[in-house]
Amino acid sequence: MTFRIAIETVWRFTPERDGPSMLVMLDFLNEIRATGKITRAAERAGVSYRHAWNLIEKWSLFFGTALVERRQGRGTLLTNFGERLVWAGQRLQARLGPQLQNLAQELESEINALLPEGGGAVRIHASHGFAVSALRDLLAAESDLRVDFRYVGNTNSPASLAQGSCDLAGVHLPLGALRTRAITAWRNLLSAADHRVISFVQREMGLMVRQGNPLGISSLQQLTAAGVRFVNRDPESGTRVLFDDLLAQHGVDGQQIEGYAQVEFTHAAVAAYVASGMADVSFGVEAAARKFGLDFVPVVTEDYVFVCHVRSLESSAVQRILTVMRGAGFRQAVAALPGYSVTAPGAVRTLEDMLGPRD
């Protein structure tokens, strides 16, 4: 038997002056926001309708302002204060979610390694993304398959593979002129004889803008216009490297972009930042934009692949992972992600087939 660990955040509010703290269930408020029905929120939380109203009144009294309001024919709506609480919670979850999953995986691996037959997990290092998260969930459903799945930056995962710290390394590469430049940073870590590339997905990358695109943003050059507020990805992320390469390709000075130094750590986090009104535009995957009700301006397509040592393909556990990638469940999961597509997921190819010949 092995164990799985989940770490969740809890929001506890305490007044500026000493006093009792208040635990607020932001998922409960988000359900009201999404459905307009307290009954649905109560069902999801496993409480009665009466108790749900008691919670709302208790929270409103604590903050000294209403969190919800009823409108004839429109159900129950969150007030502006309630909306801001939910958006803050979504930004936090988008920002910390992958880090908490990494911490949970670390603890999980340490504990399971101490148990009989608890070792031998396939180690996967990959940058966080929607298709990667879908694969992780599908692998977790394979009860007798042990996988140690860590979210690692795009430039660091090939290094992990070369150092023997992982068995599968996820890497995303743009199509077109920037592909060679993206490969150069880590190509020397791999060899045509010893390594293979596993096809995974393609995804659309571009500008995430507020719904309706009120500023009419359609190009990278417009990011330097006065009044356009941007939120960036962190400098260590592959998406940030790609964005900077795109700016250079189009002759745009990043330092002239308002908010260029303001960073978040995931695609979902920057999308939530824009959706909450704190910025006008960001750069990331289409799936993140659609998840938060944003419009999307496509800029470039990426291949997301996994790289492994050829000997790893002899492992029955790795072959099971490839079977999951090739399965209907994964195809269905990807089909539900805007901007993602698959052709031959799980297909094993040579470095030259996927990356081109070494210069």
Average confidence (pLDDT) over 187-206: 91
Per-residue pLDDT of 267-305, as tens digits, reads: 999 999 999 899 999 999 999 999 999 999 999 999 999
Check pLDDT > 70 for residue 335: yes
Check pLDDT > 70 for residue 358: no
**122 C-beta neighbours (distance < 10 Å), count:** 20
Average confidence (pLDDT) over 97-123: 71
Q: Residues 6 or more apart from 139 whose CB is under 8 A from it? A: 145, 147, 149, 321, 324
The residue type found at 77 is L
What are residue 94's phi and psi, to 5 degrees? Answer: -65, -35
Q: Considering only CA atoms, which of 200, 147, 150 is closest in space to residue 171?
A: 200
Reduced to 3 states (helix: H, G, I; strand: E, B; else coil), residue 14 is coil
Which of the residue ranges 28-32, 99-103, 200-204, 307-311 would you say has the lowest mean pLDDT? 99-103
Is the model more confident about 50 or about 356? 50
> pLDDT class for 92, splitting at 50, 70, 90?
confident
The domains found in the chain, sorted by start residue, are: 11-86 (1.10.10.10), 153-309+338-359 (3.40.190.10)
Type and span of the H or E element at 241: helix 238-249
> pLDDT class for 131, splitting at 50, 70, 90?
very high
Is the model more confident about 8 or about 307? 307
pLDDT score at 112:
65
Per-residue pLDDT of 35-73, as tens digits, reads: 888 888 889 888 898 998 998 999 898 888 999 998 877
Check pLDDT > 70 for residue 114: no
pLDDT score at 130:
94
> pLDDT class for 99, splitting at 50, 70, 90?
confident
Average confidence (pLDDT) over 126-146: 90
pLDDT score at 267:
93
Average pLDDT taken over every residue of the chain: 88
Q: Dihedral of the CA atoms 211, 176, 131, 332 (nearest 10)?
A: 90
210, burial (CB in 10 Å: exposed 0-12, middle 13-18, buried 19+): middle
Residue 167 · residue 308 · CB < 8 Å: yes
Check pLDDT > 90 for residue 195: yes
Check pLDDT > 60 for residue 1: no
pLDDT score at 352:
82
Per-residue pLDDT of 167-185, as tens digits, reads: 999 999 999 889 887 777 6
Per-residue pLDDT of 227-259, as tens digits, reads: 999 999 999 899 999 999 999 999 999 999 999
Average confidence (pLDDT) over 139-161: 87
Q: Considering only CA atoms, which of 346, 306, 348, 304 is closest in space to residue 327?
A: 346
pLDDT score at 262:
95
